[in-house]
Amino acid sequence: MLLLAWIAVLAPAALALWGFAAFVLKGTRSVRLLVGTMIPAAAVVCLFFAQYWATRKPPAEPGWDIFYAVLILVSGAATIIITLPAVLIAERVFGRPN
């Protein structure tokens, strides 16, 4: 269920960012790819990091901060796994050769 929610939010966000990079910024293919995939991934990492530090109870047991840091980075990688196909589809359908 969480994966479907992740796809329902992140795929349209990636397409909107791709459109922004393509039509407003008039970026090259690599710029469109970076904007469409890295901005959502960075947003997810920052959101999860802020949520963790806001709800963290001091003092944490040793090792849990590193565990959650790695988990947050893995969530950013999972975001790229979700947004990359959406950006590649948009690039194939709407992209122009550079």
pLDDT in tens, 41-94: 999 999 999 998 898 877 667 788 889 999 999 999 999 999 999 999 999 998
| Structural domain for 66, as ranges | 2-94
Give the pTM: 0.84
Identity of residue 22 = A
Cβ atoms within 10 Å of 76's Cβ, excluding its own: 19
Give the number of domains in the chain.
1
pLDDT in tens, 12-32: 999 999 999 988 989 899 999
* DSSP category for residue 29: H
Q: Is 98 helix (H, G, I), strand (E, B) or coil?
A: coil
- Reported as a pLDDT band with limits 50, 70 and 90, residue 1 is low
Angle at 81 between CA 97 and CA 23, to 5 degrees: 35
